[in-house]
Amino acid sequence: MSSAEDLEYPRLLIQYQNGFLISKVMFAACELGVFDLLRESEDLLTSKAIAEQLGSSFQGMERLLDACVGLKLLRAEVRKEGAFYGNTEISNLYLTKSSPKSQYHNLMYYSKTIYLCWHYLTDAVREGKNQYERAFGISSKDVFEALYRSEEEMIKFMYGLNAIWSICGRDVIAAFDLSLFPVIYDLGGGAGALAQECVSLYPNCSVTIFDLPKVVQTAKKHFVSSEERRITFHEGDFFADPIPEADLYILARILHDWADEKCVQLLKKVQKACKTGGGVLLVETLLNEDRSGPLESQLYSINMLVQTEGKERTPAEYSSLLTAAGFREIEIKKTGKLYDAILGRK
């Protein structure tokens, strides 16, 4: 092994080891309100001023701010009085609550929920099942009873999904021309961010969000304005209850929650309900056919292990599920973003 390799291996391992520390720095700065305070401030602020306004210790805040500078989440300007801190463009855009593209709620969901499940990753790999029982002391048999174990947790999850669709939603909805499908059902549409993207891009379409009763009530209360007439709701369990007829069904980040057998079961119900000439739009993060990447998809697949019954899949695997359910003319569109789109026709 060359001297260059001798140096590279430890450096690479240290980067991986510090991945946990990096994410926790970002989570803590978000939770404490660092980025929000600096966005609202007209001037750069000292660590002392930030600590005082956020009610934290000076020594702790100074170290946190310096780490954020190292991560390029903050910028620092050294003056006679000391260091002054401000947001970078990326933190203003994605880490402040008031930004239209804010990822704050998604990051808080990672910090408070996903991280606790990942603490038991070794057990998940040994057992091949999710870790809600160990992480939260609740049964892991019903995935969404665990995910929605309280109204607070459900709202946090829904805000997190909306945050993701604020940066990825338009791309997947625009991947195919959906104006051909005037009546659309968004199965598991949750807080309605994709439905809102859909009616915005295709004003002649109507979208019905089909989700569990408590999710629908929360969406109506917190997320979707009653003045938006093109978005309606249907309460139910799409595995147990009938699926109404429509031109198109959107399943966004749905199939990755379930094993193959359950996916085919759901897709067959959708295919039976679908109008002739209609279709189904799958929105998922896709693995390469040889499973060599992308790294984000590989990590998300592990997340499905610790949190759900499902996994991330390759385009060929999703095509096989659609074919088994009776769909044809399957098309795959890569968006260049985190999520891609697959359209199957009846």
Q: How many residues does the chain have?
A: 346
Phi then psi dihedrals of residue 183, to 5 deg: -110, 115
- Crossing angle of helices 213-222 and 151-173, in 10° steps, is 80
Spell 76-99 as b/e; 16+ CB within 10 A means b: beeeeeebbbbbbeebbebbbeeb
Tokens 């995910």, residue located: 147
20: which residues sit within 8 A by CB, 6+ positions away? Answer: none
Q: Is the peptide bond before 294 cis (omega within 30 degrees of 0)?
A: yes
User: Where on the phi/psi map is residue 70: left (φ > 0), alpha (ψ -120 to 50), or beta?
Assistant: alpha
Cross-sheet strand order for the sheet of 206-211: 231-235, 206-211, 183-187, 246-252, 274-284, 340-345, 328-333
Whether residue 62 contacts residue 55, with contact meaning beta carbons closer than 8 Å, is answered with no
Whether residue 173 contacts residue 187, with contact meaning beta carbons closer than 8 Å, is answered with no
| Closest listed residue to residue 300, CA positions, set 255, 256, 252, 254 | 256
Check if 256 is active-site.
yes
What DSSP element (H or E) covers 295?
Answer: helix 295-307
In this structure, which amino acid lies at residue 222? Answer: H
Phi then psi dihedrals of residue 83, to 5 deg: -85, 140
| Closest listed residue to residue 253, CA positions, set 264, 239, 263, 268 | 263
What value does the CA radius of gyration of the chain take, rounded to a whole number of Å? 22
Please pick, among 105, 119, 222, 256, the residue that the annotation labels catalytic: 256
DSSP letter, residue 256: G
Terminal alpha carbon distance of the chain: 57
Residue 276 tokens, joined: 């002739």
Catalytic site residues?
256
